[in-house]
């Protein structure tokens, strides 16, 4: 089994000129990217009114996923950290606006700076109608530099993504988490940022076809919003009854917004006379002057009213 690319090198180094061209010239990868992007767009559940939307493609790479957005008549902005990938996207004449940047930083600031430098326009929060990301977010779970801390990078990513999106808009992030802990880290970071949502798993019992999508709603989901259904082995939507078995293979439906509760501070341990005497003896051995022991040492004082 091939090693996961995020474990081999940082994305801007792994996807160099050679890897970027090899990736984009593979008919197999092009086909997979098209199918995943179509599914992400389906889960995005944009209104079917014929009006083009402004979408954000996070980790757009060479523009393969952006092609699907363009084919569906949407405008899009692509963000990627690999200059080589963006160069290939330019050569392929991708229709979206391309920005070089790290999604582990403030996306909104990068978008504003990129559009301001090019068009002289400011970029206000809440103007993106939806966002997709294909096989990118799990890269944030790796510390490629000494300054990288996965939790802080995920916090910055989801926080800025939340501010970018219009209220009620969705973000669909297709991810390849390495394990349950990594999956939980990504989902909990999204919930802390204010999103409502959960994971939708297509083909949960298939090794090759299994795909996980983190479907997020910016703010509380509106009434009547349909819960996305996962696809089963036959290509149709599968019910919760079909997702029994291994815990990894269960389909997680979209849930209401839930902010993890802050950990309650543990009550201080009761420190009696024995503990106080022992601590005083330790201090004496260190040469620290402490009050002499008396019958009042460690006496419990009465409460004052």
Same domain, 135 and 242: yes
Tens of pLDDT, residues 5-30: 877 888 888 888 999 999 999 999 99
For the residues 297-305, what does the mean pLDDT come to?
Answer: 73
User: By mean pLDDT, which of 81-95, 96-110, 204-218, 234-248 is the weakest?
Assistant: 234-248
Q: What is the value of pTM for the model shown? A: 0.71
Mean pLDDT, all residues of the chain: 81
- Does the pLDDT at position 154 exceed 60? yes
| pLDDT at site 250 | 43
Same domain, 60 and 112: yes
Q: Choose the final residue of a domain: 202, 217, 249.
A: 249
Classify residue 80: in a domain, yes or no: yes
User: By mean pLDDT, which of 22-26, 74-78, 239-243 is the weakest?
Assistant: 239-243
- Please give the torsion angle defined by the CA atoms of residues 21, 153, 107 and 103, in that order, rounded to the nearest 10 degrees: 0
| pLDDT at site 239 | 40
* Counted domains in the chain: 2
Classify residue 67: in a domain, yes or no: yes
Same domain, 170 and 298: no
| pLDDT at site 205 | 87
Classify residue 240: in a domain, yes or no: yes
Same domain, 174 and 36: yes
Same domain, 56 and 202: yes
* Residue 91 pLDDT level (bands cut at 50, 70, 90): very high
Same domain, 174 and 298: no
| pLDDT at site 42 | 94
Classify residue 257: in a domain, yes or no: no
Same domain, 217 and 182: yes
22-46: string of b/e by CB count within 10 Å (b at 16+)? ebbeeeeeeeebeebbebbbebbeb
* Residue 270 pLDDT level (bands cut at 50, 70, 90): low
**Could you give the angle at which helices 150-164 and 107-119 cross, rounded to 10 degrees?**
50
CATH number for position 33: 3.40.50.150
CB 197 within 8 A of CB 227: no
| pLDDT at site 170 | 94
Same domain, 245 and 276: no
| pLDDT at site 72 | 94
Classify residue 231: in a domain, yes or no: yes
Tens of pLDDT, residues 171-185: 999 999 988 999 999
| pLDDT at site 31 | 94
Distance in angstroms (rounded) separating the CA atoms of residues 38 and 34: 6
What are the two backbone dihedrals, phi and then psi, of residue 52, each rounded to the nearest 5 degrees? -65, 140
What are the two backbone dihedrals, phi and then psi, of residue 172, each rounded to the nearest 5 degrees? -120, 115
| pLDDT at site 262 | 53
Same domain, 244 and 293: no
Same domain, 197 and 292: no
Enclosing domain of residue 299: 272-305
Classify residue 259: in a domain, yes or no: no
- Does the pLDDT at position 117 exceed 70? no
Which percentage of the chain shows pLDDT scores above 90? 42
Q: Choose the final residue of a domain: 216, 249, 282.
A: 249
Same domain, 242 and 127: yes
β-pairing, 211-218 vs 165-175, is antiparallel
Residue recorded with tokens 């802080």: 152
Classify residue 260: in a domain, yes or no: no
Classify residue 266: in a domain, yes or no: no
Same domain, 241 and 291: no
């Amino acid at each position: 089994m091939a090693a996961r690319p995020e474990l081999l090198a940082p994305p801007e180094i792994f996807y160099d000129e050679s890897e970027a061209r090899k990736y984009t010239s593979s008919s197999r990868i092009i086909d997979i990217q098209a199918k995943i992007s179509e599914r992400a767009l389906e889960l995005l559940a944009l209104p079917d009114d014929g009006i083009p939307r402004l979408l954000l493609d996070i980790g757009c790479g060479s523009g393969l996923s952006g092609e699907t957005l363009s084919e569906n008549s949407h405008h899009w902005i692509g963000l990627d950290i690999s200059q080589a990938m963006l160069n290939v996207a330019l050569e392929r004449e991708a229709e979206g606006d391309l920005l070089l940047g790290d999604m582990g930083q403030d996306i909104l600031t990068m978008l504003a700076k990129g559009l301001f430098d090019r068009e002289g326009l400011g970029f206000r929060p809440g103007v993106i109608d939806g966002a997709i990301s294909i096989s990118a977010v799990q890269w944030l779970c790796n510390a490629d530099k000494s300054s990288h801390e996965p939790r802080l990078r995920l916090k910055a990513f989801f926080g800025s993504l939340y501010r970018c999106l219009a209220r009620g808009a969705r973000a669909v992030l297709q991810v390849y988490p390495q394990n349950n802990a990594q999956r939980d880290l990504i989902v909990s970071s999204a919930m802390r940022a204010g999103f409502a949502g959960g994971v939708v798993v297509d083909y949960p019992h298939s090794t090759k076809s299994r795909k996980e999508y983190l479907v997020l709603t910016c703010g509380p989901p509106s009434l009547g919003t349909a819960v996305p259904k996962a696809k089963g082995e036959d290509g149709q939507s599968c019910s919760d009854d079909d997702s029994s078995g291994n815990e990894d293979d269960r389909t997680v439906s979209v849930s209401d917004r839930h902010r993890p509760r802050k950990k309650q501070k543990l009550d201080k341990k009761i420190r009696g006379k024995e503990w106080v005497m022992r601590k005083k003896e330790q201090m004496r051995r260190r040469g620290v002057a402490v009050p002499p022991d008396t019958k009042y040492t460690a006496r419990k004082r009465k409460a004052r009213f």
